[in-house]
C-alpha cells in the first residue's frame, strides 16, 4: 500500500551527504513494510536484518567496524550478498543496542551504502542508553498511521485521494465528491489507519474482520507492557491505556484515572505509553509567541491516542453506532473528529523541530474557554477549532483571537470550504472589546492540505 513517506525516502536516497536513517513510530504502523516497498520501487537489493532474531550480533556491532559487521551479516540465513545496489535495513534495532552508535561509523566509513533502521520500542533504548549517540550522524523519520488520503488509495478511491492530495485553496469541490468523502471518512473513523486493518478492509469490506484486526493489535500493545518498565503493575498500566483511549480531548486529572494510585505513579505510566508512541500529549500553551512549546504549562494537558480506529475499538464504538451518526453528530459528538484532526496534525508537524501539539485553555468562574489545537505553521500562530455550526457560536475562538490579537483562524467541519470575516465582541473584565479576524472553514477531510492552504495565504 502506498505511503507518502516513500517520497521522503526517495529524497533521502538522492542526498549527497546522506546519513543513516532511523524510522521512529509505534508498533505496526508500517515501518518495515515501508522499507520493503521502497527497496522494491527503487530496484534495490534489500538486506533485511531483524535484530530481534539475532541478539548475538550485539558484540559484532560493538566492534564499530562496518566491514566486519557486513561480513557477519552476509552469513545470516537467506541474506543476499553485498553489492552496489544494496539497501541495508536494521529492523527492531533496539534489540541490539550497540547497533545504534555503530550507525555513525557506517556514515563515516561507508557513505555510499544506504542504511535504514527502525524499532517499535526504540524510544526505550534511546532513553536508557549508556553509549555515545551518533548525534549529527543520523537522520530521523517519524511515522504514524495511514492518513485519510492513503486510506482512499488503499480502498481504490484514487480520484478522491487525488482531489485531497492536489487541493489548492479556492478549488471547488463537487457536491457528489464531498458527500462520498464524508461517507468514506465515516469508514475511516471505524477502520483507522493501521495498515493491517486498512488492508483487510480493502480486501474484504468487512467491518467484523477489521474488528478482529483491531483486537489483535490492541492485544499486542498490551503484551508489550512488561517491556516498558519491568516491575510495573500491569493491571494499572491497562487501566491507564484504556483511560487514554476513552478520554481523548479531555483535560487529564490523575484522580480521574485512579483514585487509589499516586499522581507520580500514573504520570510515569503515561510517560511510558508515550515513549511507546501509543499515546501523545496535547499541552496547554499560553500562546504568547513562537515557538508555542516555549510557553507551555506542562501540568495542563489532554491526550491523543495513536489511531482513531483503535481508539473507537477500545471505547466500544462499533460500526453500527458510527454508521447511524448523521454528519453533524459525527463532527460534534464524542472525540472522533478531534482525534482524526490531531493525528493528521502530528503528521504535518512530524519533520519540524517543534512537533509537540498544543492547545489553549482558560479556566475561570464564568469565562471558561478552550481552543482544540493551536499550532505554529508558516510562521503564524494558528488556532484550530473542530466543530460545525454558525461562526457566532464559536465563543472560545473569539476569546482567543481577542486576547492574542491574531488575524487568521481555522475551523474544520462538515461544510465545503469557505472564508468569513468575523466581527464580534468579547468581554474583558467589565468591558466589551471588538474582535475582527478571518476564519477559514475547511471540510475535515482536507486537514492534510492545511500547510499548503496556509502557504497560499501568505
pLDDT in tens, 146-181: 999 999 999 999 999 999 999 999 999 999 999 999
What local confidence, expressed as pLDDT, does residue 385 receive? 95
Cα distances (Å, whole numbers) of residue 357 to 281, 384, 441 = 7, 11, 20
* Residue 2 CB coordination number (10 Å): 14
pLDDT at 132 exceeding the cut of 80: no
- Cβ of 287: how many Cβ atoms within 10 Å? 21
Nearest to 410 by CA among 452, 447, 357: 447
Cell readout for 110 is: 561507508
Q: Is the pLDDT of residue 2 over 90?
A: yes
In the predicted structure, residue 404 carries a pLDDT above the cut 80 = yes
- If pLDDT is split at 50, 70 and 90, which confidence band does 428 have? confident
pLDDT surpassing 70 at residue 421: yes
pLDDT (0 to 100) of residue 323: 78
| pLDDT tens track for 437-458 | 999 999 999 999 999 999 998 6
Q: According to the model, what pLDDT value does residue 236 have?
A: 95
Identify the pLDDT of residue 87: 97
Residue 375 pLDDT > 70, yes or no?
Answer: yes
pLDDT of 90 strictly over 90: yes
Within its chain, how far is the Cα of 385 from the centroid?
18
Mean pLDDT of the region 305-325: 88
14-50 confidence digits (pLDDT tens): 999 999 999 999 999 999 999 999 999 999 999 999 9
The answer to whether residue 429 scores a pLDDT higher than 80 is no
Confidence band for 83, pLDDT divided at 50, 70 and 90: confident
Whole-number Å distance between alpha carbons of 354 and 360: 16
Name the region of 311 (left: φ>0; alpha: ψ -120 to 50; beta: rest). Answer: alpha
Q: Does the pLDDT value for residue 340 go beyond 80?
A: yes
Residue 372 has pLDDT above 90, yes or no: yes
Q: What is the pTM of this model?
A: 0.94
Report, as an integer, the average pLDDT of 294-310.
97
Averaged pLDDT, 231-257: 95
C-alpha cell at 363: 479556566
Q: Are the C-beta atoms of 327 and 251 separated by less than 8 Å?
A: no
Query: Is the confidence at residue 239, as pLDDT, over 80?
Result: yes
- Predicted pLDDT of residue 393: 67
Mean residue pLDDT of the chain comes to 92
Q: pLDDT band for position 366 (50/70/90)?
A: low
| 116 close to 87: Cβ distance less than 8 angstroms | yes
pLDDT confidence of residue 237: 95
Reply yes or no on whether the pLDDT at 203 is more than 70.
yes
Position 329 scores a pLDDT of: 61
Q: 200 near 213, Cβ under 8 Å?
A: yes
- Residue 246: enclosing H or E segment and its boundaries? helix 234-246
Res 327: pLDDT: 62
Whether 305 has a pLDDT exceeding 60, the answer reads yes
What whole-number distance in Å separates Cα of residue 107 and Cα of residue 103? 6
Residues 334-350: what's their mean pLDDT?
A: 93
Q: Which residue has the cell 516513500?
A: 6
pLDDT band at 131 (very low <50, low <70, confident <90, very high): low
Domains identified in the chain and CATH numbers = 5-142 (3.40.50.300)
- With cut-offs at 50, 70 and 90, classify the pLDDT of residue 67: very high
**Which of left, alpha, beta for 249 (phi over 0: left; psi -120 to 50: alpha)?**
left
Comparing 366 with 411, the larger pLDDT belongs to 411
Amino acid at each position: 500500500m502506498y505511503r507518502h513517506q516513500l517520497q521522503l525516502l526517495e529524497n533521502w536516497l538522492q542526498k549527497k551527504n546522506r546519513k543513516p536513517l532511523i524510522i521512529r513510530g509505534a508498533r505496526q504502523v508500517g515501518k518495515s513494510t515501508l522499507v520493503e516497498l521502497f527497496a522494491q520501487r527503487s530496484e534495490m537489493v534489500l538486506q533485511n536484518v531483524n535484530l530481534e532474531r539475532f541478539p548475538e550480533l550485539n558484540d559484532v556491532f560493538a566492534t564499530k567496524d562496518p566491514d566486519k559487521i557486513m561480513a557477519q551479516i552476509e552469513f545470516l540465513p537467506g541474506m543476499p550478498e553485498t553489492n552496489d545496489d544494496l539497501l541495508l535495513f536494521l529492523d527492531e534495532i533496539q534489540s541490539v543496542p550497540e547497533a545504534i552508535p555503530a550507525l555513525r561509523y557506517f556514515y563515516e566509513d561507508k557513505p555510499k551504502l544506504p542504511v535504514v533502521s527502525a524499532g517499535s520500542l526504540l524510544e526505550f533504548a534511546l532513553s536508557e542508553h549508556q553509549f555515545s549517540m551518533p548525534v549529527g550522524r543520523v537522520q530521523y523519520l517519524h511515522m504514524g498511521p495511514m492518513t485519510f488520503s492513503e486510506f482512499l488509495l488503499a480502498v481504490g478511491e484514487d480520484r478522491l485521494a487525488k482531489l485531497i492530495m492536489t487541493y489548492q485553496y479556492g478549488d471547488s469541490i463537487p457536491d457528489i465528491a464531498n458527500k462520498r468523502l464524508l461517507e468514506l471518512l465515516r469508514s475511516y473513523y471505524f477502520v483507522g489507519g493501521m495498515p493491517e486493518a486498512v488492508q483487510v478492509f480493502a480486501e474484504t469490506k468487512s467491518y467484523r474482520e477489521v474488528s478482529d484486526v483491531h483486537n489483535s493489535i490492541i492485544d499486542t500493545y498490551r503484551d508489550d507492557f512488561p517491556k516498558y518498565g519491568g516491575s510495573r503493575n500491569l493491571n494499572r498500566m491497562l487501566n491507564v491505556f484504556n483511560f487514554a483511549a476513552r478520554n481523548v480531548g479531555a483535560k487529564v486529572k490523575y484522580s480521574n484515572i485512579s483514585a487509589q494510585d499516586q499522581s507520580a505513579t500514573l504520570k510515569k505510566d503515561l510517560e511510558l505509553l508515550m515513549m511507546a508512541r501509543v499515546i501523545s500529549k496535547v499541552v496547554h500553551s499560553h500562546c504568547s509567541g513562537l515557538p508555542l512549546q516555549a510557553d507551555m504549562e506542562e501540568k495542563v494537558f489532554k491526550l491523543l491516542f495513536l489511531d482513531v480506529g483503535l481508539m473507537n475499538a477500545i471505547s466500544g464504538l462499533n460500526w453500527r453506532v458510527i454508521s447511524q451518526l448523521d454528519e453533524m453528530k459525527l463532527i460534534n459528538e464524542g472525540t472522533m473528529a478531534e482525534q482524526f484532526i490531531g493525528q493528521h496534525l502530528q503528521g504535518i508537524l512530524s519533520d519540524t523541530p517543534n512537533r509537540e501539539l498544543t492547545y489553549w485553555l482558560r479556566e475561570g468562574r464564568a469565562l471558561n474557554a478552550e481552543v482544540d489545537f493551536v499550532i505554529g505553521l508558516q510562521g503564524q500562530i494558528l488556532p484550530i477549532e473542530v466543530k460545525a455550526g454558525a461562526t457566532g457560536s464559536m465563543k472560545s475562538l473569539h476569546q482567543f483571537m481577542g486576547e492574542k490579537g491574531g488575524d487568521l483562524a481555522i475551523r474544520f467541519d462538515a461544510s465545503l470550504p469557505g472564508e468569513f470575516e468575523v466581527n464580534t465582541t468579547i468581554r474583558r473584565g467589565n468591558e466589551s472589546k471588538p474582535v475582527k479576524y478571518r476564519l477559514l472553514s475547511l471540510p475535515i477531510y482536507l486537514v492534510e492540505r492545511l500547510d499548503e492552504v496556509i502557504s497560499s495565504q501568505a
